[in-house]
Every structure is written in structure tokens, then in C-alpha cells.
Amino acid sequence: MGIRLPVVVVVLALALAGCGGSDPDDESPVDTSAAEALDKENHAQNLKAKEVAKQKAAAAKLEARRTKFTVKIEKMVSNLSGEAGLVVGAPGGDGVTLGTNGSLSSISAWSTSKVPIAERILKDANGPSGITSTQRSNINRALTLSDNTAALALWQDLIDTHGGVDGAAKSIDKMLRQAGDNKTMVSTKGRESFTPFGQTDWSLKNQNKYMAALAGECISTPASRKYLFKEMSSVTSDTWGFGSAGVPAKWKGGWGPGTDGKYLVRQMGTMKIGGEEAVVTLAAIPDDGSFESGQAMATSIARWAATHLRGKVPEPTPCP
């Protein structure tokens, strides 16, 4: 018996040794997936922050360029003999523009209002294929010759279709809203012998929004847009301004005397400048109040735009 005791003790000691200990080979590996995921998230956030900062810097630089060029436009119009304004934009729907109304923030549309009237006629007819031969002739005369009799006939068509004068005006207002012009309301009252719609208060900036939406394919249908711009490329009623700028252009003009007897002349449309399409609206009231001086001012503004806008036209923008 005395001989076996040490063996038992040795076996017990070995057993105890096997029940514990800190052998590094037996430790479980540390889970680093959470830390790695956090690192990736922080990296992604840093990249996003840098991209946002880059975009903000680019936007600020672009805005500075626009502001600088707008100052040039303001200087140009201030040097003319009378009140004037020039607004330039890109085809599309965000209303990004260069330029200024000048002091002409509130002016009568005159015959430029004939474009949305013609567009509404086309919309009601589901495009050019649906208009009558009489309407086709009236649109042509209203846009290329600025014929008031033809435009009044189209206006009467809208009155008949939309339940009266107010309905006709509101039907055009609706299209202006779709173009991003949330302020202009078509006039239903004339002045003296002038057309009611011609007395619509239409600012250059809001008019530019309408033309930008039309040129940027944001409103109307492809067939109707093509039809309207084809007519606007054949204008013979006002070959001053856009018509004398020396670049390809499509436009519609309007003119008439204010209550003070001074003539306002204005035009809206597109110009092809340096291979880029610019949406342009301009207006002028000469100091001497004559139609002839107004025409000369409009031509001066249009030629300045055709020369100085090369490389400055904003990029086309998406529709809303």
C-alpha cells in the first residue's frame, strides 16, 4: 500500500494539470468585423463629405461666374439711352439665368403673348394634325407677321373652347405654371384698341422660364414644339433685335406704346451662339419714346448677346 501512494498523487497532479492552465493555443480568436465595419462607414462618410464640399465649391465658383457676367449685362444695359433689360438662360426647367430685368420688371407682353396662345390652340387640338386649316393660317400670321386679327381669332377659339374669356385666360395660365412661371396671369382686359392678352404683365425672367421650358422640351409635345419653332424661325414682322443679331435665331417680338406714349419693344426666343443654344429675352424703352429708337436698342442688345455670350451660356438643365 505504501508503495502505490506516490503513483496516485502523480496521476492526480497530472489530472489537475489537465483541468486548467493558460495554454495560448486554446484561446478563442478576437472578432474584428465590427471595428472593420466602423472603419468602412467612417471612410464612406469622409468620402461623401469631401464630395459634398467639392460640389459646393463648384457651385460657388459657377455662381460667382454668373454674378460676374450678370454685372456685365447690367453695365451694358445701363449705358443705353433708355430703360432696357436682358435675361439669358439655358433650355430646361430650373430657371437658371444670367442678366437682369433692369428697371423693366413689370412690362406688357404685347405680341409675345401670341406664342402661348398658339401653344394652347395646339394643345387643345392634340397637336398640329388636329388644328383646322383656318387655325393653321392664323397661327402662321400671328407668329410670323404678328397679325392681331389672326391672334384675336385664335383667342376667340379659346374663349369658345374654355367657356368664356376667363376660361381662355386660365387655360394659358395653366401652361405657364407648367413652365415654372408661377406669377404671370393672362390679361382679359385691353387698353384702348389693343388686344387684351397683349396687356398681360410678363417679366423678362418669367418669360425666359417659359421659353426655356419650351426649348428644353419640358412642356408641350414634340410635334407642337417643332411646329411653333418652325413658325418662329420665319418671322418677318420684326427683323430688328434677334433678326439682326448675326446668329441663327427663332423668336417672337412685341411692341406698343405705354400709357405715357413711349414705345416698349421686346423679344423672346433662342439664339445659337458658339454652337450652344441660349434662351434670350430682351426689352427696351428708349428715352425719346420712338419705335425706331426702341428697335435700334433691341438690335444693340441682341448683337451684344451674340458676341459676348460665347462660352458663357449656362448648361442645359433637366425638366422638373
Does 313 have pLDDT greater than 90?
A: no
Quote the pLDDT of residue 68.
79
Q: Which of 271, 70, 111, 95 is nearest to 181 (CA)?
A: 95
**How far is C-alpha 168 from the geometric centre of its chain's CA atoms?**
25
Helix (H) or strand (E) holding 153: helix 148-161
97 forms beta bridges with 89
Quote the pLDDT of residue 10.
38
pLDDT in tens, 246-286: 999 999 999 999 999 999 999 999 999 989 999 999 999 99
C-alpha to C-alpha distance for 59 and 227, rounded to whole angstroms: 36
Helix (H) or strand (E) holding 72: helix 33-78
Stronger pLDDT, 283 or 25, i.e. the higher one: 283
Quote the pLDDT of residue 127.
97
Cβ atoms < 10 Å from Cβ of 207: 30
> What mean pLDDT is predicted for residues 212-228?
97
- The whole model's pTM is what? 0.81
Among 66-75, 199-208, 233-242, the range scoring the smallest mean pLDDT is 66-75
CATH of 67-308, one of 3.40.50.10860, 3.40.710.10, 3.40.50.300, 3.30.70.380: 3.40.710.10
Does 220 have pLDDT greater than 60?
A: yes
Quote the pLDDT of residue 133.
98
* Packing angle, helices 133-144 and 148-161, rounded to 10: 130
C-alpha to C-alpha distance for 133 and 139, rounded to whole angstroms: 10
Mean pLDDT score across all residues of the chain: 88
% of the chain beyond a pLDDT of 90: 66
Quote the pLDDT of residue 153.
98
Q: Phi and psi dihedrals of 19, rounded to 5?
A: -90, -5
pLDDT in tens, 115-155: 999 999 999 999 999 999 999 999 999 999 999 999 999 99
Cβ pair 242, 281 in contact under 8 A: no
Does 172 have pLDDT greater than 50?
A: yes
**Side by side, which strands form the sheet with 97-100?**
97-100, 82-89, 276-286, 263-273, 249-257
